[in-house]
Structure 1
Amino acid sequence: MKEDLSEATLNGLNDYQVNEDSYECSMTTDIAVFGYVDNRLKILLTKRSVGNFTDHWMLPGGALQANETLKDCAQKILFALTGFENIHFEQVRAYSDIERHPTKRVITISFYALVKPENHPLTLKRGVEQIDWFDLDKIPANLGFDHNQIIRDAHQFFKKNLKDTLVVGELLPQKFTLPELQNLYENILGLELDKRNFRKRIFQMDILKNTGEKKPGVKGGPMLYSYKDHE
């Protein structure tokens, strides 16, 4: 059994409550945007012409303003730096190491998003010097801040989600074959999957619809599937 808290400790709990003199710091959001191009999972990075680490590649990210939620901030930053909008993304984790930012104390909340690059052409926005897609195993060494860790964590979070639900709908065409779906899974997870077990697991999830169509131009004409929420 834990020892009882002393009266002094209990009185000290008053110091842990939020008040006008409580410590404040800046907050930012960083978004790991994943795309699937030529059977390769890629990450979107930007090189900016302003701010810290101007000679480094970075994830799209920026500061939270007083009138914004974290989601508002992520959407604002993503549009401002990439032009992408109306994209589904999920929160990953928080980063609060004391000296992670050279200017002041900053806590970052990270997100990941999934897009079809062909639906989101890259354009240089104001303050962005370069923007490009990179293979996950060919990420530039000159990354700013702790973005290498944020990318790794987002990728692991993404892979973990695959165990419970199909979260790759925005990476494939509306209609796709089972081999294409399995190839995507293998690329994301970084391992080879047994064809029979993979299909058994996918059909158990009951989220695919057989369109009754066959993929044109391919020998044998494999069946095309879609997600049931696209009906």
Structure 2
Amino acid sequence: MRILLVEDDAPLAAEIAHALRAENCAVDIASNGEDGAHLGDTELYDAAILDLGLPRQDGVSVLQGWRAAGRTLPVLILTARDEWSQKVAGFKAGADDYLTKPFRIEEVLMRLRALVRRSAGHAASRILCGRLSFDAQTGQFELDGLPLRLTAFEWRVLSALMLRKEAVVSRTELFERVYEYDAEGDSNSLEVIVGRLRRKIGAEMIETVRGHGYRLTAAGAS
């Protein structure tokens, strides 16, 4: 998963980003509403965590702008504003979930995973594709019932393919879901990651669709 975190409290943002990266997520941080709005408009994210009390542009305005522009990324509002009217304003602006401070990092992760899973069209937390299973709530992959060991980059690519199993995912989309905004990477590095995944789960499970991208498929898996 690639997450946009829009939070002006630098220590809190660092704490949340550290926890997300420890769970294999890519995280981009914006410390004000204008930068957050720009990233949400121009980059591809699985979900956003959005504070309301932001400098330069408040969170509700940021969210309204995204929704007016047709941005459908799931948004979790994370704020110290716990008044009912603030929650109503957040949901009316297009929020998918709302969590007030103080909070537990574990709950942020749980809610984010649920938002991403549902936005990809999966009602159940366990997703199956042939010999491969993915618990979208814990982030754990299993192959033939045994835990699958993956690097952070491998996990990001495989989870993106698993959430869209049997559908073609473009190289551009995969690339954008793997690397953070200021990270260096190229198409060759993506090919290397896909090659490693094929060795781990079986080459037949990741199909190359020439000129388009990759598809995770159970067809031919034994």
**TM-score of the two chains, using structure 1 as the length reference:** 0.32
Structure whose residues are more often strand by fraction = 1
Q: Which structure has greater helix proportion?
A: 2
Given the two structures, how large is their TM-score scaled by the length of structure 2? 0.33
